[in-house]
Structure formats: structure tokens, C-alpha cells
Structure 1
Amino acid sequence: MTAYFERLDAHRYRATPAVGGGWNPAEQHVAPSLGLLVHAVERELARRGSGGARLARLSFDILGPYAIGDVEIAVTTIRPGRTIELVEATLAHGGRTAIVLRAWLMQTSDTSAIAGADHLPLPPLEGLEAWEPSSIWAGEFVRTVDVRREHIAPGRSRFWLRPRLALVADEEVSDTARLIGVIDVANGVTPRAHPQELAFPNLDVTVHLIDDPVGEWIGCDTVVGFGRTGTGLTHTVLHDRRGPVGTSDQILTLRAR
């Protein structure tokens, strides 16, 4: 396998076995699907000429599990505009919508003179030990992701991620789409509890980007918190080699196994 998806036509893709999920290997891990939705939005913007707008917020709602197989993506504009635009993209499997993405796009401008964020820097990936997600997770997808991790405590880690496979076979994909297609695993790389003892799947992923991530690797400074009424939160500050580029949040449902 060289990719997570193969294109069938303008809107349909076939998932390869590489997308097998951690909670159920027969179901798709949502991570590659999130990247695929971003790729579809970027292709639509390029097709109609977006005038330099960039993705600033990506809010994914995960409506339920779906088996490995063909998926179909549709992209529509909810709020058109020359400087700010809201786009919606849906991913369906077997005629049922599985993921909904709402993406805010913002017009670019040169603010390099005031750029910066005072988040703590990540340790260089070269100094971190490789960690194998398959040591605690099932499914093929986690076997295709390189992880260099500094484990600080249960629910607290700093690490770098890299997908080893292409997002779509024989197709150019942006760094943003490719890296969005792996960050859902932040929840699994920083477990506060062992997945054999507690299920903690996320219902959403919400990403805010102040810069487009660049390069092969995405860095994550992640904290997982569990509440007292069955809800958790995975919060991640995202980095590339240059520094912080945004944040990612995942709301969790906590279920004893």
C-alpha cells in the first residue's frame, strides 16, 4: 500500500486497508478522512479561484463509525465573501453522512513583522525516542504513522507525527491536508487511560491555524483531561519546524469497557 485513498472519480474515493481504525480495525480511522476533506476543499477553491484565501478554522463533526470502503465528498459554500468565506464539506459512506467539515477561509495579508506566539517550543524530533502506537492500539492506520514522543505523564506528551503513506494515490496534496490527515491520533498518542480499560473516542476535531503547516512532520504539545461526568478533552498546540502554527481540540466521550 502506498496511499490511504485512491480516486475513483471527481467526488468518490476508495479507502485502502491502510485506514483501519484503532477502536475497530474493520472501520476507518477518521484521521485520513479529515485530510481528504481538506484536500477536497482546497481543490474546489483552486478550481474556482479563491483569490488567496487560506484555511483558518476547520471544524469536523464525526457522526459515527463507517466501514472501510468507498466514500463520497461534496463541497458547498455556506457564506460567500471576498475576504471571509464559510465552506462546508461532507464525507458520506454507503449513502450516510459520516463527517461534516465547516471551514472558515480568510484573505491573506503580510503580517510577518508582527508574527509570533509565546507557546513553549517543542523539543527537536531528532532528540526524541520513536514510539510505536501499535503497542497499545489495533488497526493498520497507526502502523503507517511515525511518532517521536516525549512522554511526560498519563495524558501529557510532546511529540512529532509523520504519515508514511500518501493521502491520495498519484495526486499532489498540500502539507496542510496531509498533516491534518494525521493529527486526530494526538488523542491516542497521549492516553490518560489504557484503551483496553476505557474507551475515549472523540466526537469532533476543531483546528485553528494561524499559519499553514510546512514540512513532513507536525509537532504536538498535548494535554488530555477527563471530567467528572463522562466527558474528556484533548487539547494540542500544533507546531511545524518553524514554531507554533495553531491548535487542535477533540471532545471525548468516556466509556468503561
Structure 2
Amino acid sequence: MAYFLRTDDDRFMPTAHVGGAWNVTEQHVAPAIGLLVHAVEADHAARRTDLLQVARLSYDIWGVIPMEAVDIEVIVLRPGRTIELVEARLSHGGRPAIILRAWLTQAYDSSALAAANFPPLPSPEAMPAGDPSALWDGGFIASVQVRHEAEGQGRARCWVRSPFALLDGETVSPIARMMGLADIANGLAPLASPRDAVFPNLDLTAHIFRQPAGDWLGFDVSVSAGESGIGLTHSILHDAVGPFATVSQCLTVRPRPSA
């Protein structure tokens, strides 16, 4: 009932629920993205008691990952009392597959200035159930529950949750759990069917201005593409309280040849 099993201190085995949408023999990067957050936070907690909070997560996706064990290494690039820059590398067979750079910052009481100037999202109960498996293959897509409201080509508002733990037998933070779902944004409002074009994302960058809570992760998704094979999926992330982050994904857009 989990996406990953820990097999050693820094090694993790994917379960069938990690199977990819573009190729079922490869990992969907969404669970790995959440796992990297957990690795950063666990390393941070082992080093210090005055914990900082995650403010930005920037991932570069170097290549596909087979459905095999992966290793994670965490390095502090910029130590500091109130700010840290941490790098986490997920590798397969010694080859880097995803590199995360995370900014962590000290918490302050800024409640007097708190604001979220993004449009609200209807509740999950107010949206019809969606079936992403009708468009996408793989164990990860089959593992999630989706509420979906299309607003035109490349625009949708959605809620996603999963009954599965990110890591078997371990408690992970709400931000790690939410980020383990965030990469699904690129498939929620595509400009074309994956049968007609491929448009995998090269990266994912999240800016977090409030720590999330709850089971459902909400997406207000907009997808754009230029005329030379580059696209962008931009999402405002919500929990039950309201917006808490933005996520952007750079796409490489390649139409499939006509039959």
C-alpha cells in the first residue's frame, strides 16, 4: 500500500503503483519527486533541531527511470542559520535521474501579512469524478482519485488524492506527500492526446508560500505551447484551506508522425 519500499539507508524500491504514464516499464516521476522532499527533510532533521521550512523546490529531470531500485544522496550546498540550500540526487545504477535543489528558510510570524491572491477552487465534492486512466496508462495514474472540471483546451481545475503512502512504514510531511502527486499536473489538461503528441516535462519548480494540509491536492492548471516544440504547464496548488503554492513544468513538445 505504498509507492516505495526502503531497502537500505539510501536505497528505495518502487512498487507497481509507480508505473509510468508514457511507458509502463518506467517510473512516473511524481512519487520520486515526493520521495526527494522526504529525503531532504529527513537529512535536515538529523542535522539540526531548529528546523527550517521548505520554500522552493526545483527539480531537473535528467532521464527516464526503470522500475528498479534508486539511490538518493543529499548534500548541503549553502549552510546557514536561517536559510539553507540543499541538493538531493536520485540515481539509478550510478546515473543521476532527478536532481532537486531546495531552499529552506526560517519560519517567522507573518500572519498580519498573509494573503493568497489567486482565484478560489471549488471543493472536491463540487466537481465530477474524472478517469485519467481513460487517457493515460501506468500504475501511478491508476492509483489516484481525480475530480476534474475542464475549462477549455489546456485549462482545467482538478482535485487529486491517493490512498497509498509515499514510503512504506514511514511518516512523511504534508509537503512531501503533496509533491508526490504534483507532477500529474502535466496530464490533467493536455493540449493534445498523448496518442497524437508527446510532451514530457524536463523539470518541475514549486514555490511554496504556506505549508499544506489535508488529503486532497487541488490544481488550477493552464497549459501553453509555442511553435517550436517548447511548452509550459503552470498550476496553482490548493488544499482545503486555499492556494498554497505554484508549480511550473517546462515541456518538450513533439507531435507524433501521422500514420
TM-score (norm 1): 0.98
Unaligned runs of 5+ in 1: none
Q: How many residues align?
A: 256
Aligned equivalents of 1:209 and 1:82: distance in 2?
A: 20
Aligned to 1:134: 133
Q: Secondary structure at the match of 1:13?
A: strand
Question: Alignment partner of 1:153: what SS?
Answer: coil
- The amino acid across from 1:200 in the alignment is F
Q: Which residue of 2 aligns with 1:184?
A: 183
Task: Report the Cα offset of residue 164 of structure 1.
Answer: 2.0
| Structure 1 equivalent of residue 251 of structure 2 | 252
For residues 36-75 of structure 1, the aligned pairs below 5 Å read 36-49=35-48, 51-75=50-74
- Map of 2:82 onto structure 1: 83
TM normalised by structure 2 equals 0.97
- Name stretches of at least 5 consecutive residues in structure 2 with no aligned partner: none
- Note the C-alpha offset of 1:191: 1.0
* Residue 214 of structure 1 pairs with residue 210 of structure 2: no
How far does the alpha carbon of each residue in 1:110-135 deviate from its partner, in whole angstroms, 9 at most, with x for none? 11121011110001111101111110
1:155 alignment counterpart: 154
Percent sequence identity over aligned pairs: 51
Aligned-residue offset at 1:50? 5.2
Q: CA RMSD in A?
A: 0.8
Q: Deviations over 1:187-242 (max 9, x none)?
A: 10111111100100000000000011111111111100011111000000111111
Residue aligning to 1:94:
93
* Aligned-partner Cα distance in 2 for 1:136–1:154: 15
Q: Equivalences for 1:229-248 in 2 at 5 Å?
A: 229-248=228-247
Tell me the equivalent position of 1:20.
19
- SS of the aligned residue for 2:8 comes to coil
How far apart, in 2, do the equivalents of 1:205 and 1:81 lie? Answer: 25
Which secondary structure does the structure 2 equivalent of 1:113 belong to?
helix
Could you tell me how far apart the structure 2 residues matched to 1:18 and 1:157 are? 25
How far apart, CA to CA, are the structure 1 residues paired with 2:3 and 2:47?
26
Q: Which runs of 4+ in 1 moved over 2 A?
A: none
Q: Distance in 2 between matches of 1:221 and 1:214?
A: 17
Deviation of 1:66 after TM superposition, in Å, equals 1.3
Residue 245 (structure 1) shift:
0.4
